[in-house]
Amino acid sequence: MPSISDIALGGYAVVATGLTLLILAVVDACNLVNVPPIAEAGGLSQEECYAMSSAMIKSAPRGKETAGEILVMFFHVLVRIEQNFFLASAAAAWFTLFKCSDSARKPFHLFLAVLSVCCAASDATFAGFPGLGSTGLELSDAAKASVVLPFIPVWTVLGVLNGLAFLGAKEKTA
């Protein structure tokens, strides 16, 4: 029977691997158009994503075009960094799941518990709930629903499972 540690690590590994394969933003931030809620809301092509990014640059206040360009670049860079993070942490979760003892898993469970709580709290902010940080975006109910379901519950469950696995992991005694 799988332990809480096995379920927590396996759950995260599946979610992070799935996000990496679904989005494929490791190589291009505009691959975010592959996320199902975007497709279900009418869809966008990569070319439309690039055009929207260019329009955002052009909408910068006069004399601040370079600042607008850098801001858009950061959005694209951060999406790719997030995707690389999911790829790397998925690989680490799979390795830890199959190759590490319970005591060796403890630090990774702490990391995944904190990460999952931060992800849930960040998504909650965008869904209009109390969470982590703030946003000046006024999102439609449809956009909020794409964040609330399934991301907040998934991150919450993974946070709780990894927290329980962290608290329950036995320390190795000398």
Q: Mean of the pLDDT values across residues 148-159?
A: 92
- 73: pLDDT strictly greater than 90: yes
Query: What's the pLDDT band for 122 if we cut at 50, 70, 90?
Result: very high
DSSP single-letter state for residue 41: T
Question: By C-alpha distance, which of 90, 108, 120 is closest to 165?
Answer: 108
Query: What's the pLDDT band for 172 if we cut at 50, 70, 90?
Result: low
148 vs 106, residue with greater confidence: 106
Query: What's the pLDDT band for 54 if we cut at 50, 70, 90?
Result: very high
**What pLDDT was estimated at residue 134?**
87
Listed as own residue / partner, the contacts of 10-16 with beta carbons closer than 8 Å and 24 or more positions apart are: 10/93, 10/97, 11/157, 11/158, 11/161, 12/89, 12/90, 12/93, 12/112, 12/116, 12/158, 12/162, 13/90, 13/93, 13/94, 13/97, 15/154, 15/158, 16/86, 16/87, 16/89, 16/90, 16/93
pTM to 2 decimals? 0.86
Q: At what angle do helices 4-23 and 102-126 cross, to 10 degrees?
A: 50
For residues 103 and 174, the answer to whether their CB atoms sit within 8 Å is no
Phi and psi torsions of 171, nearest 5°? -75, 145
Which stretch of 38-47, 110-119, 133-142, 156-165 has the lowest confidence by average pLDDT? 133-142
110 vs 22, residue with greater confidence: 110
DSSP single-letter state for residue 135: -
- 174: pLDDT strictly greater than 70: no
Amino acid identity, position 101: S
Amino acid identity, position 128: G
For residues 6 and 93, the answer to whether their CB atoms sit within 8 Å is no
Q: pLDDT tens digits for 23-32?
A: 888 899 999 9
Question: By C-alpha distance, which of 83, 82, 80, 56 is closest to 70?
Answer: 56
Which are the contacts of 12, defined by CB distance < 8 A and separation ≥ 6?
Answer: 89, 90, 93, 112, 116, 158, 162
CB atoms within 10 A of CB 87: 17
